[in-house]
Amino acid sequence: MRNIHRGAVGFSALTLAAVLVGGCSNSDSLSGRSNGNVLFTMGGPTTQAARLGASSPVTLSDGTGRTITSASISLSSILARNLDGQLIDVTMALPVTVDLIGLVQGRTVDLPIGSLPVGSYDQLVIVIRSLHIELSDGTQIDVTPPGGGWTAIVQVEAFEVVDGQVTTVHLHFRSEGAFRWVDGEFEFNPGFDCDVDRDDD
């Protein structure tokens, strides 16, 4: 069994340092504003056609015919941008390991319940600190970037976080084109779709 610790993982061009400088906060207690609960769920493609297309084994484009048998990420934080342009750290129990192949195959994962200050939000930033891949020939690929991790930006239709209610945010992993082998290196370029609903307590 081979272990590979190199590779390129591509996300939207926003570094964790830029996120932190952009004004994230994990508490709004000083302003006296209340918080609302947020439940993030992660699943696979949103349509039946996309699910069928994504369910077949992912073959690497390196000419070997190897397929990806397992892929998981360690999710270290989620931030939400309010309508004032501030990135607010969602208060929740992370990190969490998420099985991406399981999502593609139709499973859904509920992340730990979190909270955000009451208000409107129109963007999410997902911070991923590590990636683990296993191939059909037994090769294992582990990629852990320096610093805080990679970031993926998810644009969403503006949603409200309301005191005393649970806002449910559904993140859908788009696996098409996410796993590639380019010039001898593994590349990971995931995308996410998002929809939101709110349940009264």
Cα–chain center distance at 165: 23
Strand partners, 134: 70, 140
Q: Is 128 exposed, middle or buried (0-12, 13-18, 19+ CB in 10 A)?
A: buried
**pLDDT 10s digit of each residue in the chain, 201 long?**
444 433 333 443 333 333 333 344 444 444 457 999 999 999 987 655 455 445 566 776 677 788 888 999 999 999 999 999 999 999 999 999 999 989 988 899 999 999 999 999 999 999 989 999 999 999 998 988 777 777 889 999 899 999 989 999 999 998 877 887 777 777 777 788 888 875 554
Which tokens sit at 108? Answer: 């859904």
**pLDDT at 32 (0 to 100):** 57
Residue 21 has φ and ψ, to the nearest 5°, of -70, -25
SS3 150: strand
**pLDDT at 19 (0 to 100):** 37
pTM value surpassing 0.85: no
**pLDDT at 18 (0 to 100):** 35
**pLDDT at 95 (0 to 100):** 94
Which sequence spans correspond to the domains of the chain? Answer: 3-190
**For 69-88, b where at least 16 C-beta lie within 10 A, e where not — what string?**
eebbbbbbbbbbbbeeebbb
